[in-house]
Chains A and B, each alone.
Chain A
Amino acid sequence: MPAELRNVIYFVAAAMFIFGIKGLTHPRTAVRGNMLGAGGMLLAIVVTLIDKEILGWQWIILGLVLGSSIGGYLGVKIQMTAMPQLVALFNGFGGAASALVGGAVMHELISKGESITTQGAVAIAATGLIGAVTFSGSMVAFAKLQELISGKPITHLGLKAANTALTLLGLGLAVMVVMNPQAAWAYWLLVVVMLGLGVLLVLPIGGADMPVVITLLNSYSGLAACATGFVLNNIVLIIAGSLVGASGLILTRIMCVAMNRSLTNVLFGVMAEVGDAPSADEIYAGKVKSTTPDEVAMLFDGARRVLIVPGYGMAVAQAQHAVRDLAGLLESRGIDVEFGIHPVAGRMPGHMNVLLAEADVPYDQLKEMDEVNSTMEQVDVVMVIGANDVVNPVARTDPSSPIAGMPIVDVDKARTVVVVKRSLSPGFAGIPNPLFAADNCLMMFGDGKKMVLELVGALKAG
């Protein structure tokens, strides 16, 4: 096949990726968009395979069969609650594949005795650098999300020094690869150093900051593919890789804004120390009102507008189907039910939306934070299920609080708030929530799923 024709077909594939992502701008066109993207991928693969440069098929088939069976199994079997882990895993595989290709191309050129251009050497170094960090960082993120290791933030003074040392060492090795592209050992040493850096970078980051980590690694996996494109002078890799890189960067920004923290603060900082803020005992003492499902069922009798605010606790309790039943029951009684979703609720962007969509909640019922906040005063009952920091009014009222300035769902402004929660324990920010002691707040203590099911039962009986 002439190179021109191949490049034209690569361009068509790249265009299909762009229009595929464009389809994701609306739920109605999204399925078609995803298929368009898959079609573009198939086209790019087929063109590469029928190209005359391919000599040996048996190895290619081995890799394809292995990858398809694992990918197919994961894609079909994975639980929707495990999506953050799966995306973390895929981020890592993308990075690993790119780093391996970078190394393979380097060895091939050295073995052929061909000289490596400066562009090629820079791109190879970048591939190893980004690909390796993405792989190891993603594996740690996966382990944290899968709870194989503790999700708690780890802070150690030595970490910063170690990170700086590894970064400098990695950059030095990258320069060495560029100066002497025949030195394959430098490439692999670079990969090893970056693998270590990836582990150290993600290890200290706590569970609730995972959305930022996953989106950033998502971006890196795209940029690694992009760097591979510069190694191979291949436009479809560059275009597809940049699309993924841009997507991850945008999502990272959205997550940081939603937490009112800078990216460096999330990655290297620790949550600000809790200053002279009142202690949990002072805030809660004697003011927390506990309630029962029966009482809440009666509360709904007089309600016309209900807002449900889910958080990570809903995912942990697998309460999404029970919540759907509750919403359906309330709607059948003529109550207007909406869901208010904070951008960082859960462990990845859109986490709550996917769980509720799985439970058949129509997507037009899922409202963004700003939208529900503008009409919060007219809401009769808010049900907060497994969320804490994202509904903490301290973010608005106390400038010295670690979450000061973070946009929150203003549930405290509704007429009545019911919070479903196991205990009064603090959220990720480690601070007490005055909402729980507010006059218009009732606490329904217990497991999210169990309490919502009991509430549904009480409503049906009542």
Chain B
Amino acid sequence: MSDSVLLLTIFGLAMIVGFEIITKVPPTLHTPLMSGANAISGITIIGALVAAGHEETWLTVVLGVCAIAFATINVVGGFLVTHRMLSMFRKKG
């Protein structure tokens, strides 16, 4: 199996797992689900770290640093605000 097909398989399986779990998230938690998803989409920081860290040219460094900043906003802000919201849901009930 070629690498591309392997990666596409992983992609397909992850989508299936995602559909299976997320359909079970109750509507009451849909907003935290979205902000949590924002935080997880910040995973692109992995690519940004590599791009900035290689220091290949000044251009890749600038692009990488900007990408790190954007992705970090998502990761830090996303997890924090989701935590704040979810704590409110836990207080009672």
Residue of B26, B53, B74 near A97 (CB, 8 A) is B74
Residues of chain A within 8 A of B91, CB atoms compared: 357, 360
Chain A interface, >50% SS class: helix
Taking beta carbons and an 8 Å cutoff, which residues of B are in contact with A?
3-4, 7, 10-11, 14-15, 17-19, 21-57, 59-61, 63-93
Within 8 Å by CB of B88, from A76, A357, A366, lies: A357
The 12 listed contacts between A and B (C-beta, < 8 Å) are: A34-B86, A75-B77, A96-B70, A97-B74, A104-B63, A107-B56, A225-B44, A230-B11, A240-B40, A243-B18, A246-B22, A351-B31
Extra contacts, 13 of them, besides A54-B53, A237-B47, A360-B91 (Cβ < 8 A), are A21-B21, A27-B86, A66-B68, A71-B75, A100-B63, A101-B64, A104-B67, A107-B57, A214-B34, A228-B44, A241-B41, A242-B11, A364-B93
Q: Do A119 and B4 contact each other (CB < 8 Å), given the known contacts A67-B69, A108-B51, A112-B56?
A: yes
A31→B66 contact, CB < 8 A: no
B54 CB, min distance to chain A CBs, angstroms: 6
**Cα(A63)–Cα(B66), bound, Å:** 7
User: By the criterion CB–CB under 8 Å, are B7 and A230 in contact?
Assistant: yes
Per the bound structure, the CA–CA distance linking A20 and B57 in Å amounts to 37
Q: Whose C-beta in chain A lies nearest to the C-beta of B8?
A: A230
Question: When A and B form their complex, which 5 residue pairs have the shortest distance between CB atoms, in order from nearest?
Answer: A67-B72, A75-B80, A63-B68, A246-B18, A350-B30
B90 touches A30 (CB 8 A): yes
- Closest Cβ–Cβ distance, residue B67 to chain A (whole Å): 4
Of B17, B27, B54, B82, most buried by chain A (CB within 10 Å of CB) is B27
What residues of chain A have their CB less than 8 Å away from a CB belonging to chain B?
14, 17-18, 20-22, 24-28, 30-31, 34-35, 37-38, 41, 44-45, 48-49, 53-57, 59-60, 62-64, 66-68, 70-72, 74-76, 78, 80, 83, 86-87, 90-91, 93-94, 96-98, 100-101, 103-105, 107-108, 111-112, 119, 214-215, 218, 221-222, 224-226, 228-251, 254, 341, 343, 348-351, 353-354, 357-358, 360-366, 368
Query: Do A34 and B79 form a contact, CB below 8 Å, given A87-B34, A234-B46?
Result: yes
Cβ of B24 to closest chain A Cβ, rounded Å: 5
- Minimum CB distance partner of A226 in chain B: B11
Query: How far is A100 from B74 in the complex, measured between Cα atoms in Å?
Result: 15
Separation of A94 and B30 alpha carbons in the complex (Å): 19
- Are B43 and A240 in contact, with the CB atoms below 8 A? yes
Of B4, B40, B54, B75, the contact of A55 (CB 8 Å cutoff): B54
Q: B61 to A247, Cβ gap below 8 A?
A: no
Q: Given A21-B21, A221-B38, A239-B14, answer yes or no on A111-B60 (Cβ-Cβ < 8 Å).
A: yes
Whether B43 and A236, one on each chain, are in contact in the complex, defined by CB atoms closer than 8 angstroms, is yes
Contact, CB under 8 Å: A56 / B46: no
Q: Contacting B38 at CB < 8 Å: which of A56, A67, A91, A119?
A: A91
Least CB distance from B76 to A in Å reads 3
Give the complex CA separation of A37 and B82 in angstroms: 11
CA gap between A166 and B11 in the complex, in Å: 28
Q: How far is the CA of A111 from the CA of B72 in the complex (A)?
A: 27
Taking CB atoms, residues of chain A closer than 8 Å to B71 are 67, 93-94, 97
Q: In the complex, what residues of B have CB within 8 A of residue A78's CB?
A: 81
| Docked pose: A176 CA to B38 CA in angstroms | 31
Query: Which residues from chain B contact A104 at a C-beta distance below 8 Å?
Result: 47-48, 51-52, 59-60, 63-64, 67
A231 CA to B81 CA in the complex, in Å? 30
Interchain nearest-CB distance for B20 vs A (Å): 9
Task: Evaluate contact between A64 and B81: CB separation under 8 angstroms.
Answer: no
Q: Give A24 to B34 CA distance when docked, in angstroms.
A: 11
| B64 contact set on A, CB distance < 8 A | 59, 63, 100-101, 104
Q: Contacts A59-B55, A244-B37, A350-B27; is A236 near B46 (CB within 8 Å)?
A: yes
In the assembled complex, which residues on chain B have CB atoms less than 8 Å from the CB atom of A26?
26
Q: In the bound complex, how far is the Cα of B36 from the Cα of A53, in angstroms?
A: 30
Is B69 a contact of A53 with CB atoms below 8 Å? no
Closest Cβ of chain A: how far from B63's Cβ, in Å? 4
Distance between Cα atoms of A24 and B77 in the complex (Å) = 18
**B9 to chain A: closest CB distance in Å?**
10
Question: Bound complex: CA of A49 vs CA of B54, how far in Å?
Answer: 11
Interface contact B7-A30, CB-CB below 8 Å: no
A75's contact among B11, B17, B54, B84, by CB below 8 Å, is which?
B84
**A18-B21, A234-B47, A243-B17 are known contacts. Are A71 and B35 too (CB-CB below 8 A)?**
no
Contacting pair B87 A53 (CB below 8 A)? no
* Chain B residues whose C-beta falls within 8 Å of the C-beta of A236 in the assembled complex: 43, 46
B29, B90, B91 pick with most chain A CB within 10 angstroms: B29
